[in-house]
Structure 1
Amino acid sequence: MKIVFIGLTVSSSWGNGHATTYRGLLRELSALGHEIYFLEHDKPWYSSNRDFSSPEDFHLIFYESVYKLRQNFESLIRKTDMVIVGSYVPEGVSVCRWVLNIAEGVKAFYDIDTPVTLHKLDNDDDEYLSKDLVPLFDIYLSFSGGEVLQLLESTYGARKAKALYCSFDPGIYYPMDVEKKWLLGYLGTYSDDRQPTVDSLLAEASKKISDQKFVVAGPGYPEGMAWPANVERIDHLPPELHRKFYNEQIFTLNVTRQAMIRLGYSPSVRLFEAAACGVPIISDYWKGLTDLFEKDKEIFIARNNDEMMDILKYTTQEQRIQLGNAARQKVLLAHTAAHRARELVAYYEELASLEQY
């Protein structure tokens, strides 16, 4: 099968979680014997921060403009078995209309930002998708699962909505025997709606446990933002350093965007990667989290600073190890990139069996 992705970026993980999600999925689809293309709009903020190039498993092609995309790749799009347009593609509405108009195979929208997308649609924000386009795709692949899938079909008119969660590569993310440097760490790009939780659960905890070290890694934080003296700041951390970063933490923090909390059922790629490293995760709460991980056995949940302090102070080493191991086993059984590749192929085969293509 030939599959063409038009996505935000696979070449750079700078300031986004799309790249690593795509890399694993495309590699595993190739391993299954499929011919894979990824078309990426060549943007300067990604081209100057590339941490991935010349893939051996799929064709990575850059295009300079939507005009060039149409001019150079019409035949590829028209004749491929499945075309997948991703969320946040520059000029996405125009790209979607073009794909829907010419593609003869299965046409899919892959939303790695489902809660954000639906919030935008509700506010008539057509940055990369418009309401009228949702029912035109053969399948809507959603970063969010659970009740969100019914919502996509009943309220937004999707023909078929299926979950395609993010995933991790078990060959990259695994436990390491390294010295622990930080009691608690957080990896994430700055966002206004996440920062109050980071402040409450990490910064405030660092003030109360001043003899331990903490860390916050990720780009986009306002210049001059004040942190307690025992909180280390790391700017952009490339993917090849994520595994060691997680393994050097006694606990790691997961914080969720407000749009994803409101909708629920929206695990981040960082959640799966940290679990794969066997580091115990402390997460804020959102609907659907305990469907993925069992509370206090596979994940800790802290709704406020008091609950965070109880976890940090009273969890024994044995409990930490047991919980980290249990979370790792959970994601190995259900959330690797290979799982996602097989799910995507199964969705295609289900549609193809209807003899539409």
Structure 2
Amino acid sequence: MKIAFYGSSLLSSYWNGAATYYRGLLSALARHGHSITFYEPDAFDRQKHRDIEPPDYAAVKVYAATDQGVRAVIAEAAGADIVIKASGVGVFDDVLLAGVMAAARPGAIRMFCDVDAPATLAELKAHHDHPMHEVLPDLDLVITYGGGPPVIAAYEELGARLCVPIYNALDPATHHPVPADPRFAVDLSFLGNRLPDREARVETFFLDAAARLPERAFLIGGNGWETKAMPGNVRHLGHVYTREHNAFNASPLAVLNIARDSMASVGYSPATRVFEAAGTGACLITDSWVGLDLFLAEGEEVLVARDGADVAAHLRDLTPERARAIGEAGRRRILAEHTYERRGLELDALLRREAALKRKRNAA
């Protein structure tokens, strides 16, 4: 089927944590025979910080972030069998949502891909005039990149016909073990942009742990941290391109995952970094959230911390041998159960089922 996908960016991960999710999921769908066009705005300097050039699994149309540019790409939705609007495009989000769903032909599947469901749902509950309230009952499908039962129930309560989590996963072709790189050889690393709903948790889990272990070396990557006061044993890298993620994850003794506030409160929301790090065989330490056991087993495939003191305690006890054993066990679990090939199979079956149901309804 022909898919028109409107998202933040496929080509750049700059201020765009969903990039690897889009890449893994869409490349898997392409292998199932779908023809994909990805529409992304020229915004936030993302085109100046590309990680990849247009891939063979999707045509990419970069449009001007102007009224005229948006109107042009909205019109192209009419030619697709499946029209997908993702959350968090960053510019003209409401215009795109209403526009592409209205432009879709009657027989097309209309779909919303929510890459930050807790934040979207909070906004919908706070703003009863949000355009999504009007569009949602007419959508055939909502997929979310996390959230589990609480998010499904919340979307259904708001009028969604069907909400299905299609979780982040691993693409072993892009995230895999590599030799250690001295640039990233520290005791603990963390990768994530500085965001309002993440900063306090970074202070609690990462910076507090660093302050407790002044003799250890810590590394933080991501945009926005250059003005943040940090202990002297923390080094800041700035933006880390996806081509460097494998070495960033494979080189430290351990890698830290910290969920954003909303993701942690809802649960069932593993970040892309969880799968990327596990794919390299990294020893992962994560903050605690409900649903983690669906993906990794605590103490065997991942270490779990409730605060910075726990993180520091894990590092004190962690030997290179144990770190390696945990990392290898986590990688085996993710490869067995949580790859984008599996996610692609799941979503392909879902789309084909919805297409058949839609044909049946239209023929009645």
What is the TM-score when the length of structure 2 is the normalising length?
Answer: 0.91
Relative to 1, partners in 2 of residues 1:69 and 1:15: Cα closer, same or farther, differing over 3 Å?
A: closer
State the one-letter code of the partner of 1:32.
H
Relative to 1, partners in 2 of residues 1:192 and 1:244: Cα closer, same or farther, differing over 3 Å?
A: same
Q: In 2, Cα distance between the equivalents of 1:302 and 1:83?
A: 40
Contact 1:145/1:162, CA 8 A, preserved across alignment: no
Shift of 1:73: 5.5
Relative to 1, partners in 2 of residues 1:114 and 1:126: Cα closer, same or farther, differing over 3 Å?
A: farther
Q: In 2, Cα distance between the equivalents of 1:325 and 1:310?
A: 21
Q: In 1, Cα distance between the equivalents of 2:149 and 2:115?
A: 16
Aligned match of 1:215? 219
SS class of match (1:283): strand
Q: In 1, Cα distance between the equivalents of 2:96 and 2:199?
A: 33
Please provide the CA RMSD for this pair.
2.0
Aligned match of 1:258? 261
Q: Is 197-206 or 300-309 further displaced after alignment?
A: 197-206
Map 1:49-64 → 2, pairs under 5 A = 49-64=49-64
Indicate which of 167, 174, 177 corresponds to 1:175.
177
Map 1:18-29 → 2, pairs under 5 A = 18-29=18-29
Shift of 1:126: 7.3
SS class of match (1:88): coil
Shift of 1:2: 1.0
Fraction of identical pairs, as percent: 31
Q: Is 11-20 or 194-203 further displaced after alignment?
A: 194-203
SS class of match (1:353): helix
Q: In 2, Cα distance between the equivalents of 1:172 and 1:28?
A: 13
Q: In 1, Cα distance between the equivalents of 2:310 and 2:129?
A: 40
Tell me the alpha carbon deviations over residues 9-29 of structure 1, each in whole angstroms, 9 at most, x when there is no partner.
112111121222112222222
Do structure 1's residue 16 and structure 2's residue 20 form an aligned pair? no
Q: Number of residue pairs matched? A: 354
Relative to 1, partners in 2 of residues 1:191 and 1:70: Cα closer, same or farther, differing over 3 Å?
A: closer
Do structure 1's residue 193 and structure 2's residue 218 form an aligned pair? no
Aligned match of 2:80? 80
Q: In 2, Cα distance between the equivalents of 1:80 and 1:179?
A: 44
Contact 1:108/1:138, CA 8 A, preserved across alignment: yes
Q: In 2, Cα distance between the equivalents of 1:20 and 1:125?
A: 32
Q: In 1, Cα distance between the equivalents of 2:162 and 2:206?
A: 40
Aligned match of 1:131? 133
State the one-letter code of the partner of 2:11.
S
Q: In 1, Cα distance between the equivalents of 2:311 and 2:202?
A: 11
Q: In 1, Cα distance between the equivalents of 2:63 and 2:153?
A: 34
SS class of match (1:130): helix
Aligned match of 1:148? 150
Shift of 1:143: 1.3
Relative to 1, partners in 2 of residues 1:82 and 1:352: Cα closer, same or farther, differing over 3 Å?
A: same
Q: In 2, Cα distance between the equivalents of 1:125 and 1:274?
A: 39
Q: In 2, Cα distance between the equivalents of 1:148 and 1:331?
A: 23
Indicate which of 99, 109, 112 corresponds to 1:109.
112
Q: In 2, Cα distance between the equivalents of 1:317 and 1:62?
A: 45
What is the TM-score when the length of structure 1 is the normalising length?
Answer: 0.92
Q: Is 311-320 or 252-261 further displaced after alignment?
A: 311-320
Contact 2:283/2:327, CA 8 A, preserved across alignment: yes
Shift of 1:124: 1.1
